[in-house]
Copies of this chain bind each other. A is one copy, B any other.
């Protein structure tokens, strides 16, 4: 669904317009919110932040837009086990902001880490190559999480 006409290489992150979608005020506003935080916003979190600036934008639109952003590869969607999805602007696996997560199963705290990312990404690259070939699977994204207990919860 990333490209409306069904053509083009899907799952590449790219500009809205390049994908045939309109870059409307609500969509821009939602992107702005995502772009100005390092938090792991839920749909409602996002809605509340958007709402402060654009009270007319509804929750439904936020859900819809986030989903669209996920589909076009501009946003990553995570499940940290607290019953609601979390969204983060993706900056590409080699992007500055790329990181992985530590998830505390005690209190739900999320720690972003970038340590070892290079090694991890390098291994993942190799793994991806092998898996793509073996399973004829077009890999567009990866996800690594460590689960455990944070300092406080131990």
Give chain A's interface residues, CB within 8 Å of chain B: 10-11, 77, 79, 81, 102, 104-105, 111, 113, 115-116, 119-120, 123-124, 126-128, 130-132, 134-151, 154
Chain B: CB-nearest residue to A81: B77
Interface contact B151-A140, CB-CB below 8 Å: no
Residue in B120, B123, B127, B141 whose beta carbon sits within 8 Å of that of A147 in the complex = B141
Interface contact A140-B135, CB-CB below 8 Å: no
Chain B residues with CB below 8 A from A141, complex form: 146-148
Known: A144-B144, A146-B141. A151 touches B135 (CB 8 A): yes
Known: A115-B131, A120-B127. A149 touches B138 (CB 8 A): yes
Known: A116-B131, A131-B115. A142 touches B137 (CB 8 A): no
Interface contact A149-B140, CB-CB below 8 Å: yes
Expressed in whole angstroms, the Cα–Cα distance for A147 and B128 within the complex equals 10
Chain B: CB-nearest residue to A117: B127
Chain B residues with CB below 8 A from A104, complex form: 137
Chain B residues with CB below 8 A from A131, complex form: 102, 113, 115-116, 146
